[in-house]
Amino acid sequence: MRIQRIKIIAMAGWVIAVVLLFIRFWPPEMRAVVRKKDDPLILREAGVVNVMEEHHEALMYWFSAAASGAIKQKGNVLLHIDGHSDSSYPVSWKNAPLFRLPSSQMDMRKMMERNDVFIQMAAATGLINRFIWVWPFYDAGGFLHSNDEPYLSMHLRVGVMYRHGKKHEDSHVLERCVCVKSDQWQIDKCVWINDDGDDETDEFYDIPESKCMDKVLCITVEIVSIPKAIELAKTGTWITAKDSVILDIDEDFYACESAAIPLYDAKMTSTQIGAISTNVADLLCAGSALEEMMADKFFHDLLQILLNHLRQCQSSSESDTCTDTQVLKSAVISQVTNKLDQVKHVMCLPSETTHFLLDHLLDDLLPLTEHQIKELITIGVCMPQSPRTSDFNRNYGMVVCRGYVGPNSTMIPFHSVDELGIDQTTNQLRSILNQPFTPGVVTVVRSARDGYTPRKQVHIIESRVLNALKSAFPNRITNTSVHYDHELLGGKDGWYLRYRKN
């Protein structure tokens, strides 16, 4: 036995020596792959396909893929299949990496400003040099393709410039500038971008090309309709096997609705919804998806207890609980008191203040009808944004999970869809993906928190998207290739199914 152990130890030592010798003579790029295991940008949990909640969270997976070697560190093609371009200008761009890749999770946090500016953040690092946006048919006449042109392209050279500040004439203020050339738009000029205005729109001012310095970030932008994308895909030369590709799919490509519609259909007013949301923000605070679910469950139980009392009052309205509002509130609070100890870590403030705030919240809940309470239970309460967002603050509290836009908003186009429509869009998606390339990383975005993708259909749309990906790239994507982000609203099953499935 002793001789056998000595042989095993000797064999192990020989193997280690060979491996070390082999690594010593590996090409530099191969040795870099070994060192990348300690790269702070590489996520411990990630897949080829990554399902997340808000779109700016995709940056984590893109740069993780770049750090691990799944895609190039610079000069990738971004195929963005989405109901929106998500190409707005970031406000805090000076705080994020510029002309370089992020080097830490702190850098990544600074880049995740909002769910519609993350592409510009990625482009500012050089990660992508070609951005293709395939827009849905329901965005006909939308921004950047108001005449429904099937294909538009432009070439951008992005740099920086200095201008005199308003307060000190001798000071210099760093600004973004870009030189744009497009045959379709018949444009060939350089501009600087002013975002100092009070509104959310940016202003552009013409400048001589010489004033825009360090134009080392070059990117081609293509804006493509679905029919044109299918036509280009069939050529086999649009996106090729040689391209390093980031595939990015937002589920609101299928449909876009306001999450608040059920509340308004139940005859709730914006004033009512706003008041309840403000009181919830004072009462419940969460900093993760897990805490968010706990807080929503407490709100769910509170509404259910209230609903039970109201139903009892319908059958026996003579009791003090039904005739005296304060007695009714005390009865509801006494029933949730035992739950408060279990979820005290998602209460914004200690016990006495919590009871005061509960009493105040019930003042807004008591006038609701049974139908309105049921719809409020379905809508639930959630964090107003991903906890990974740059300016997220747990102390801002939770809100009624009604999304970012009301049903009468003109900011974005709305489109409802049935299962037949979902299947039709899926077939179009398959045709677009039928190209020679293989994606290095795929991000699938639910967009349910912001209230864009219809929440009742997220699980249906998502299953179709994943099936399309597996059939398009069978050698790259299987069931085990899919990773569900731990900050998904409602977890893997999604917000709408958070109680129904259980």
Please calculate the CA angle 273-278-284 and round it to the nearest 5 degrees: 115
Which secondary-structure segment (H or E) carries 128?
strand 128-135
- pLDDT over 80 at 201, yes or no: no
Of the candidate ranges 19-23, 58-62, 72-76, 127-131, the one whose mean pLDDT is the lowest: 19-23
Cβ–Cβ under 8 Å, residues 297 and 412: no
The per-residue pLDDT for 311 is: 87
For residue 426, pLDDT over 50 is answered with yes
Whether the CB-CB separation of 18 and 409 falls below 8 Å is answered with no
Q: What single-letter amino acid sits at 208?
A: P
Going by their DSSP bridges, the two strands 399-400 and 213-225 should be labelled as unpaired
- pLDDT tens digits along 65-117: 999 999 999 999 999 999 999 888 888 888 889 899 999 999 999 999 998 89
Q: Is a pLDDT exceeding 70 seen at residue 29?
A: no
Nearest-angstrom CA–CA distance, 81 and 439 = 14
Long-range contact pairs involving 418-421 (C-beta distance under 8 Å, separation at least 24): 419/460, 421/254, 421/255
First to last CA, the chain: 56
pLDDT computed for residue 14 by the predictor:
44
pLDDT on residue 174: 87
Residue 9 CA, distance from chain mean position:
51
Residue partners of 22: CB distance under 8 A and separation at least 6: none
Tell me the C-alpha distance between 269 and 118, whole Å.
34
Residue 165 has pLDDT above 60, yes or no: yes
Tokens of 110: 């600074």
Flag whether pLDDT at 3 surpasses 60: no
Q: How confident is the model at residue 406 (pLDDT cuts 50, 70, 90)?
A: confident
pLDDT over 60 at 27, yes or no = no
At residue 167 the predicted structure's pLDDT band, cuts being 50, 70 and 90, is low
Using pLDDT thresholds of 50, 70 and 90, give the confidence band for residue 313: confident
> How large a percentage of the chain has pLDDT more than 70?
88
- Asked if the model's pLDDT at residue 320 lies above 80, the reply is no
Q: Single out the residue of 425, 406, 111 nearest to residue 252, CA to CA.
A: 425
Q: What letter represents residue 139's amino acid?
A: D
Structure tokens at 295: 């807080």
Three-state secondary structure string covering 305-359 = HHHHHHHHHHHCCCCHHHHCHHHHHHHHHHHHHHHHCCCHHHECCCHHHHHHHHH
Q: pLDDT digits over 223-238, tens only? A: 999 999 999 999 999 9
Confidence category of residue 166, pLDDT binned at 50, 70, 90: low
| Average pLDDT estimate for 468-494 | 96
Cβ atoms of 248 and 82 within 8 Å: the answer is: yes
As a whole-number percent, the residues of the chain with pLDDT over 90 amount to 72
Helix (H) or strand (E) holding 175: strand 172-182
In the predicted model, is pLDDT for residue 498 greater than 60? Answer: yes
Flag whether pLDDT at 199 surpasses 80: no
Per-residue confidence at 120, pLDDT binned at 50, 70, 90? very high
Average pLDDT for 343-370: 94
Q: What's residue 501's pLDDT?
A: 59
User: Higher confidence at residue 101 or residue 165?
Assistant: 101
pLDDT score recorded for residue 45: 92
For 129, the 3-state DSSP assignment is strand
Q: Residue 142: what are its φ and ψ, rounded to 5°?
A: -80, 180
Task: Choose between 408 and 446: higher pLDDT.
Answer: 446
User: Of 146 and 446, which is predicted with more confidence?
Assistant: 446
Report whether 131 contacts 221 (CB < 8 A): yes
**Measured between alpha carbons, how far is 166 from 404 in angstroms, rounded to an integer?**
34
- 2 phi, psi to nearest 5 deg: -60, -45
Of 86-90, 161-165, 316-320, 394-398, give the lowest mean pLDDT range: 316-320
Reported confidence tier of residue 339, pLDDT bands at 50, 70, 90: confident
CA–chain centroid gap for 202, Å, is: 23
**Number of alpha carbons in the 13 Å side-chain half-sphere of residue 461:** 28
pLDDT in the model for residue 409: 80
Give the pLDDT band (50/70/90) at residue 9: very low
| HEC readout, 55-106 | HHHHHHHHHHHHHHCCCCCCCEEEEEECCCCCCCCCCCHHHCCCCCCCCCHH
Predicted pLDDT of residue 101? 94
Per-residue confidence band for 221, with pLDDT thresholds at 50, 70 and 90: very high
* pLDDT score of 31: 34
